[in-house]
Structure 1
């Protein structure tokens, strides 16, 4: 992550999607999110987190057994919010047209990464600091989310609506548009989130070589 990206994220308030966690536990997660996003997981200690929260390290351990458990919870929250939003977007699209389904998926994917840049960055960069056992719940959600887009693309190809040069590579490129947002996008840079989501949706359809219905 570039120094400029870290500086920009440091100036923003870290936010989490709605979760069952509240009180001290949520405050721990939000503070850890800010520190992990701006310093990095490995460069943030339990003492750093306790100091930022004005708590004793022992108070943190009452909520999370270790720093890795804090990261695992953030990663799970991020993946769960992402998957639920994608599934809801497909349901609310109310259409069987693969092009419109892709548009719905890409728009919500873009919005989540643009509105929660710290969480998006920690989920995608620090995920690999977790042991396989700790990463397993989030990895299962990531696989399900990947399949949602892959299945829509497959249907689009079968219906001759899409003609991508390589389905899997194109799906990865579409996903990467959202994943890269924390590195460059700023809410006050003259490009609002809804317009950005529409731009990404249009780019995704172009990458898929969408064809008009016959």
Structure 2
């Protein structure tokens, strides 16, 4: 008889392994963001993934390993979406608009009202080594933003006193928009994205575009 993924025996094939890992990480994504690391047990993840807790441990040695793998995948996927949304050519203002709007949408379109914990808050539950590895994955977010801000400074469009403080402030504001946004509330996701962009333009002291 063929062994099932959701019992205490190992999977039969690479396809079974990949499918099971995806189910585990998808379930963990929702539960960790909804209930946090401490509030999410392996049993809850297993139940949401349609398998037993014993099956989880065939793929991940511990709950910490599930969290680390989930965050790694989310950072890589989100950055790919963000980078793909920012035009490679264009003015600094246009590219900054692409960045802010995409970042806000990524935060709000994933889970809506079910997200209570940010990536950074969840990352604090990782080991020091895993936090360091995750930090390397988050670096491109800031590097892309600083590239855009530097373009604006060099062109005379932006006036920024402290590049480091400003870039982290913008990134943090966009990442944590989910803490107050409510689906079906007064503002739509697109409207929130536009509001954030206008706020960011003030933060960088953007020079208004001149009429053609």
TM band (smaller chain): 0.7 to 0.9
Name the structure 2 match of 1:58: 54
Q: Distance in 2 between matches of 1:159 and 1:104?
A: 18
Please show how residues 104-119 of structure 1 align to structure 2 within 5 Å: 104-117=98-111
Counterpart contact for 1:170–1:207, Cα < 8 Å = yes
Q: 1:44 aligns with which of 40, 45, 57?
A: 40
What stretches of structure 1 of length at least 5 have no aligned partner? Answer: 1-20
CA separation in 2, counterparts of 1:87 and 1:51? 35
Matched, 1:121 2:113: no
| Cα deviation digits, residues 102-138 of structure 1 (max 9, x gap) | 1111110010011124678342211021123333443
Counterparts of 1:165-184 in structure 2, within 5 Å, are 165-184=161-180
Runs of 4+ in structure 1 off by over 6 angstroms are: none
Report matched runs for 1:4-83 at 5 Å.
23-53=19-49, 55-83=51-79
Does the CA-based 8 Å contact 2:34-2:116 persist in structure 1? no
Root-mean-square deviation (CA), in Å?
A: 2.4
Counting matched residue pairs gives 192
User: Counterparts of 1:138-177 in structure 2 under 5 Å?
Assistant: 138-177=134-173
- Normalized against structure 2, the TM-score is what? 0.79
The verdict on how the C-alpha distance between 1:39 and 1:121 changes in structure 2, with shifts beyond 3 A counting, is closer
The equivalent of 1:211 in structure 2 is 207
Instruction: Return the match for 1:87 from 83, 92, 96.
Output: 83
Relative contact order higher in (CA < 8 Å, ≥ 6 apart): 1
- Asked whether the equivalents of residues 78 and 120 of structure 1 are also in contact (C-alpha less than 8 Å), the reply is no
Deviation at 1:44, TM superposition (A): 2.6
Cross-structure match for 1:17: none
In the superposition, the TM-score normalised over structure 1's length comes to 0.78
